[in-house]
Amino acid sequence: MNPYAHIRDLPAHAGETVELRGWLCGRRTSGKLIFALVRDGTGVCQCVVEAKTPDAFAVAERAPLESSVILRGVPRADERAPGGIEMHVADFTVIQGREGYPIARKEHGVDFLMNHRHLWLRSLRQTAILRVRHTLVAAARRFFDERGFTLVDTPIFQPGAAEGAGSLFPVEYFGERVYLAQTGQLYLEAAAMALGRVYCFGPTFRAEKSKTRRHLTEFWMVEPEIAFAELPDLMDLAEAFVCQLVEAALRERRDDLQRLGRDLAALERVAPPFPRITYTEAAELLRSDATHQRLVVELEADRARLTDSMRRLAELEARRHSETKAWRQDKLDDEIAALREELRELETDLANRPAHIESARRFQWGDDLGGDEETILTRQFDRPVIVTRYPRQCKAFYMKPAPDDPRVVLNLDVLAPEGYGEIIGGSQREDDLDALCARMKEEGMDPEPYEWYLDLRRYGSVPHGGFGLGIERTVAWICGLRHIRETIPFPRLIGRATP
Residue ranges binding ligand 4AD (CB under 6 A)? 162-163, 183, 185, 206, 208, 215-216, 219, 221, 223, 422-426, 466-470, 472-473
Residue 216: contacted member of Mg ion, ligand 4AD, none (CB under 5 to 8 Å, by partner type):
ligand 4AD
Q: In this structure, are residues 257 and 270 in contact, taking their beta carbons and an 8 Å threshold? A: no
Q: In this structure, are residues 160 and 449 in contact, taking their beta carbons and an 8 Å threshold? A: yes
Residue 185: contacted member of Mg ion, ligand 4AD, none (CB under 5 to 8 Å, by partner type):
ligand 4AD
Pairwise CA distance, residues 393 & 165, whole Å: 15
Q: Which of 245, 208, 241 is nearest to 495 (CA)?
A: 208
* Shortest spacing between CB 459 and ligand 4AD, in angstroms: 21
H or E stretch covering 276:
strand 276-278
175 Cβ contact partners less than 8 Å away, ≥ 6 residues apart: none
Residue 409: contacted member of Mg ion, ligand 4AD, none (CB under 5 to 8 Å, by partner type):
none
- C-beta closer to Mg ion: residue 425 or 465: 425
Residue 253: contacted member of Mg ion, ligand 4AD, none (CB under 5 to 8 Å, by partner type):
none
Q: In this structure, are residues 390 and 279 in contact, taking their beta carbons and an 8 Å threshold? A: yes
* Shortest spacing between CB 472 and ligand 4AD, in angstroms: 5
- C-beta closer to Mg ion: residue 417 or 425: 425
- C-beta closer to Mg ion: residue 63 or 386: 386
- C-beta closer to Mg ion: residue 43 or 417: 417
* Shortest spacing between CB 163 and Mg ion, in angstroms: 8
* Shortest spacing between CB 243 and ligand 4AD, in angstroms: 17
- C-beta closer to ligand 4AD: residue 46 or 135: 135
**Chain CA centroid to CA 442, Å:** 36
- C-beta closer to Mg ion: residue 73 or 468: 468
Residue 75: contacted member of ligand 4AD, Mg ion, none (CB under 5 to 8 Å, by partner type):
none
* Shortest spacing between CB 409 and ligand 4AD, in angstroms: 12
- C-beta closer to ligand 4AD: residue 57 or 467: 467
* Shortest spacing between CB 162 and ligand 4AD, in angstroms: 6
Q: Which parts of this chain interact with Mg ion (CB under 5 A)?
A: 425
**Chain CA centroid to CA 277, Å:** 25
Residue 423: contacted member of ligand 4AD, Mg ion, none (CB under 5 to 8 Å, by partner type):
ligand 4AD
C-alpha Rg value of the chain to the nearest Å: 26
Cα distances from 191 to residues 154, 315, 435, in angstroms, run 9, 58, 22
DSSP helix/strand/coil, 136: helix
DSSP helix/strand/coil, 8: helix
Tally of CA atoms within 13 A in the half-sphere of 431 that contains its CB: 22
Q: In this structure, are residues 357 and 299 in contact, taking their beta carbons and an 8 Å threshold? A: yes
Beta bridge partners of 441: none
Pairwise CA distance, residues 26 & 59, whole Å: 14
* Shortest spacing between CB 136 and Mg ion, in angstroms: 19
- C-beta closer to ligand 4AD: residue 59 or 484: 484
* Shortest spacing between CB 321 and ligand 4AD, in angstroms: 40
Tell me the helices (H) and strands (E) count for the chain, helix number first.
Answer: 15, 18
- C-beta closer to Mg ion: residue 73 or 426: 426
Residue 215: contacted member of Mg ion, ligand 4AD, none (CB under 5 to 8 Å, by partner type):
ligand 4AD
Q: How many CB atoms within 10 Å of residue 231?
A: 20
- Phi, psi dihedrals of residue 204, rounded to the nearest 5°: -135, 160
Residue 327: contacted member of ligand 4AD, Mg ion, none (CB under 5 to 8 Å, by partner type):
none
* Shortest spacing between CB 396 and Mg ion, in angstroms: 8
Pairwise CA distance, residues 200 & 223, whole Å: 5
